[in-house]
Amino acid sequence: MWKWLVGIVIGLIVFGVGAYYFFMDYAADKVMDQVSTTLVANEEEVNKLLEDPEIKNYLEDGEEAPENLPFTTKEEAIKIVSKKYSVNEMVEMRDKVREGLTSKEKEEIYNDIQSKFTEEELQALKVVALKEMKKNQ
């Protein structure tokens, strides 16, 4: 009897942890999609990023990432995003993105992102988003 109970409890814990990581990855992907969409809409910011030769070489030629970026991979970006946003905030953002966004809602989300991240983190998020967009093209 105890073996069954312990097995069920362990199974539920493993399932819960797996579901949590799956959901966090999914929600962070949606946030990254929103950052990417905002970037594409704002060519001025993309051009500003590409003015930096280190970033341009990193994005276009796959050279070493600039040292001033706090992170350079999607996985690291997901960790940072999940620290800044609660699960409920990510769910709300995902739902807004899924339903389609007005320009006002896009601006609100972008302003919220700007308020929660440092300039270096924002730049790194943009670079990661550009790298992901390039990968998906």
Q: Taking a C-beta distance cutoff of 8 angstroms, is the pair 65, 72 a contact?
A: yes
Does this model's pTM top 0.75? My answer is no
User: CB-based contacts of 99: which residues, under 8 Å, 6+ apart?
Assistant: none
pLDDT, residue 39, reads 59
Q: What is the DSSP string of 115-126?
A: HHS-HHHHHHHH
Question: Which tens digits make up the pLDDT trace of 77-107?
Answer: 878 887 888 878 877 877 777 777 788 887 8
Pair 32, 133: CB distance under 8 Å = no
Residue 36 has a CB neighbour count (10 Å cut-off) of 19
Q: Is the dihedral of CA 37, 41, 46, 48 positive or negative?
A: negative
On whether the CB atoms of residues 66 and 58 are closer than 8 A, the answer is: yes
Interval 51-85: pLDDT, tens: 788 887 787 777 777 788 898 887 788 788 878 88
* Helical residues (DSSP H) of 1-137, grouped into ranges: 2-41, 43-50, 53-61, 74-84, 87-99, 103-116, 119-136
